Structure 1
Amino acid sequence: MSDIDLRHLRSFLVVAEKRSITGAGAALHLTQQAVSTHVRQLERALGADLLVRTSRGVLLTAAGEELAAGGAAVVDDVDRLAARVRAVAGALTGTLRLACCPAATTLFAVDVAEALEASVPGLRVELKGVRSPRQERELLRDGRADAAFMWLPIGDAGLHTAVVRTDPRAVALSARHPLADRPALTLADLTDDPVVRPDVLASTEAERFWLGEPRPDGRPAPRGAVVPTVEDCLLDVGRGRGVWFAPRPLETLLPAGNVRWTEVTDGEPFDLAVVWNDHAPQPLVTRLIAEVRGLVGGDGRRDAA
């Protein structure tokens, strides 16, 4: 038995309702021959006679009665499914507002926006630049942004996250630091170095993570200065006032001649994530995550809801 063609089934159902091929053709705006052809092809597909033609119209066989009883539900199910698919496709239009902190996303934010707009006709991606993760979280929480790119943790259970890339932890040292020429370091090597940090992080949990706490010996990290921006961190590091932990890719975005970047082999890596709120259009967020992972090479194995 071959597959049933929905056009043929629809024609048969109208014939069954009208008890007339001519009447079905008028209702369907088809010729009588076209309707007859649909019914014959449906009979061949099912391997059963469905109609008996008479001078006054048609009668249904037992097989025809069975198909008429169940066929309408099949057509209705397909119609409802098509409507749901169209509704989901319709949700992939409009505007997606993305909050972006340049230090985390300069390398790919524009490419992601353009890729999304190219793959989803009618979509407009609006990039909203901010200066800090704290501002990103504020935009998400008050509804001025649908999603953002943020380094985890963010310390907010009310938001959802999906990891798009995991990067090794690095430390920025003054070029004059005794360990500046080492190819790699451990947290124990940096036990006595004060850690400077920018006043931009979104939570106490995030601050402790960026400090590299707890240390292997259980002690807290020595606190250095709190400075306004990540650029100020590098200025303090360059002057020998402390060290700064950050994801390794920031070495490319924040170069400095008097600073050396070195990987910290036992430091917990940094997860970059797409973060979104409950009101974000989920189909678009799903496409966003896929596009970012494709561009930056993330595998998402550390995802959290």
Structure 2
Amino acid sequence: MNDLDTRLLRSFLVVAQEGTITRAAARLHIAQQALSAQVQQLERAFGATLLVRTSRGVRLTRAGDELRAGAEPLLADLDALGTRVRASAQGRAGRLRLVCKPHATAEFALDVVRAMEASAPDIELDLISVSTLPEELAALADGTADASFLWVPTGDARLRYAKVRRDRRLVALPSDHPLAARPTISLAELADEPVIVPQVVVSEEVVRHWLAEPRPDGKPAVRGPAAHRIEDRLMLVARGRGVWLAPEPLARYFPLPGVSWVPVSDAAPSYLAVVWMPGAAEHLISQLVAHVRALTGWDEEDGGA
């Protein structure tokens, strides 16, 4: 049997419901002869008689009853599929898996999820928590996640991104450091301080960003010990092994005895961004970006698109 034209099935169901060709043709706004031809085409496709004419109209044969019983749920499923596809294309449905580090997103992640679910109830959102940058990048690369939240630059040229928040840069100092009580500090005042280096596999561009290089005098930062986890970096700070430059939200998420956080007046800000791999559902990601920016009060003048 050749592929069926669903239009023929829909016409057959109207005939079955109305019981006469005349009423069915009027309901479908087509000529009776055209409707009869459609039924005959369907009968040829199945090789079976589907209805017989009577003095009162038409009566379904056993084959016609079987076709009606199967066609009704089939067409209903097809209509539902079409609705889902159109909703997905318009950004009103779909699934978005977000991987995030809580220290970067704790201030807005749940609010974003609630906002997206309220505006598009058919969107399914999954939050996947990780602790480190390599875990986050791996989830994007292997397809475990569709999007993530990272401070840029990311060090991965494959990633697309849209900035969503501008964060001041602070420095973590030992609490007994001579500068720890200052309201602000300049990079020049930190020139001789060894800076804790993130011990992750990223590009030199990313490392320079976290060390605030180059400094105003054009010189590199004094590099201190390296540490993989944020908690380990802060422990090194508390022990007096160096200072650490970080976005302001980390100061709120990681209050630690023995560590003081002070704004750095002339350090370039950090930008948190929604990032994704090419091929991700960009209609959903666009909604995500819009909701996050609404919650963070993003201004294009703060750092561009």
Q: Report the TM-score when normalising by structure 1.
A: 0.70
Letter in 1 for 2:178: P
Counterpart-to-counterpart distance in 2, 1:28 and 1:171: 73
Unaligned stretches of 5+ in structure 1?
1-21, 31-81
Unaligned stretches of 5+ in structure 2?
1-21, 31-81
Quote how far apart the aligned CAs of 1:27 are: 5.9
Check conservation: 2:103, 2:249, Cα contact below 8 A: no
The residue number in structure 2 matching 1:292 is 292
Aligned pairs, number: 232
Give the SS at the match of 2:135.
helix
Is 1:93 aligned with 2:103?
no
Counterpart-to-counterpart distance in 1, 2:88 and 2:136: 27
Give the SS at the match of 2:163.
strand
* Superposition CA RMSD, Å: 2.6
Give the SS at the match of 1:295.
helix
Please identify, of 146-155 and 103-112, the stretch whose mean Cα deviation from structure 2 is larger. Answer: 103-112
The residue number in structure 1 matching 2:158 is 158
Counterpart-to-counterpart distance in 2, 1:129 and 1:137: 12
The residue number in structure 2 matching 1:129 is 129
Query: Pairwise mapping of residues 180-219 of structure 1 onto structure 2 (< 5 A)?
Result: 180-200=180-200, 202-219=202-219
Letter in 1 for 2:121: P
Check conservation: 2:150, 2:272, Cα contact below 8 A: yes
Counterpart-to-counterpart distance in 1, 2:126 and 2:253: 22
Check conservation: 1:163, 1:300, Cα contact below 8 A: no
Check conservation: 1:173, 1:259, Cα contact below 8 A: yes
Counterpart-to-counterpart distance in 2, 1:108 and 1:201: 27
The residue number in structure 1 matching 2:266 is 266
| CA distance 1:214–1:232, shift in 2 (3 Å) | same
Quote how far apart the aligned CAs of 1:300 are: 4.2
| CA distance 1:201–1:104, shift in 2 (3 Å) | farther
| CA distance 1:243–1:215, shift in 2 (3 Å) | same
The residue number in structure 2 matching 1:69 is none
Quote how far apart the aligned CAs of 1:303 are: 4.3
Counterpart-to-counterpart distance in 1, 2:132 and 2:102: 9
Question: Percent identity between the aligned chains?
Answer: 49
Query: Pairwise mapping of residues 22-41 of structure 1 onto structure 2 (< 5 A)?
Result: 26=26, 28=28
Query: Pairwise mapping of residues 108-127 of structure 1 onto structure 2 (< 5 A)?
Result: 108-127=108-127
| CA distance 1:200–1:298, shift in 2 (3 Å) | farther
Check conservation: 2:91, 2:287, Cα contact below 8 A: no
Letter in 1 for 2:161: T
Counterpart-to-counterpart distance in 2, 1:136 and 1:195: 24
Check conservation: 2:90, 2:283, Cα contact below 8 A: no
